[in-house]
Amino acid sequence: MVLLQCIRFRVLTYHCLPVPVIVQALAKYKGVLSIRIVLTESATHFLAGQSPEQPTVLSLLHLPNVDAVYRDQDEWGPQPWKRGANILHIELRRWADLMVVAPLSANTLAKAMWRHPITEKQMRVLEQDWGVKEDVHIAGRTRAIMGWFEVLKPISKTLACGDTGGAMASVDTICEAIEQRLELNDALEAKTMEDEEQRRAQALANE
């Protein structure tokens, strides 16, 4: 799952294989986009440096615009929780402007939609407390539902298991949805203009 903040925008992302590719595709929004990655325990098995698309979990911190990577054990930390202390999934929900879950199985989607108690830990608690003011984008196997919960339709191609059909939407499609929902191009243009104004002001001050 990816949580995005548009520093201007914040994005939270869940799951594994497409995450590095999606994050790299959003690299041009430096200074505009802030990303936090939340990995389920299952996802970590796919991120051990097997290939360029499957880097190690630690290396995710070096991807463009990534501020943090969280795993299930980070939810409460090593010490017993005390009243008044921060709760990670609540803090992430407050922080993010958009949550992206990719890939998402129909099984997990059903659990998420009905707030089923057996979804994976970190993802479940985030979904349960997610506010409707923030958006959720998922790449799964159903059509759009609710304005704040958008499902990108699957495509047909050969899957990793060898079967054909029911594949996650392309990275380009996912990134386009993120860009449109957060209006990232407008934010990048505004930041470019601000940077230029600051450079001009600094140049005048140095004269």
DSSP string, 140-192: SSS---STTEEEEPPB--B-TTS-BS-BPPPHHHHHHHHHHHHTHHHHHHHHH
Rg (CA), the chain: 18
Rounded to an integer, what distance in angstroms lies between the CA atom of residue 207 and that of residue 196? 17
Q: Out of 6, 16, 161, 175, which one is annotated catalytic?
A: 161
The answer, yes or no, to whether the previous bond of 55 is cis (omega within 30 of 0) is no
- Structure tokens, 113: 């939609």
- Structure tokens, 193: 């203009």
Q: Are strands 9-14 and 98-101 parallel, antiparallel or unpaired?
A: parallel
Q: Reduced to 3 DSSP states, what percent helix, strand and coil does the chain have, rounded to the nearest 5?
A: 40, 20, 40
Q: Are strands 48-51 and 54-56 parallel, antiparallel or unpaired?
A: antiparallel
- Structure tokens, 123: 């993802």
SS3 107: helix
Catalytic: 161?
yes
**Residues with active-site annotation:** 161
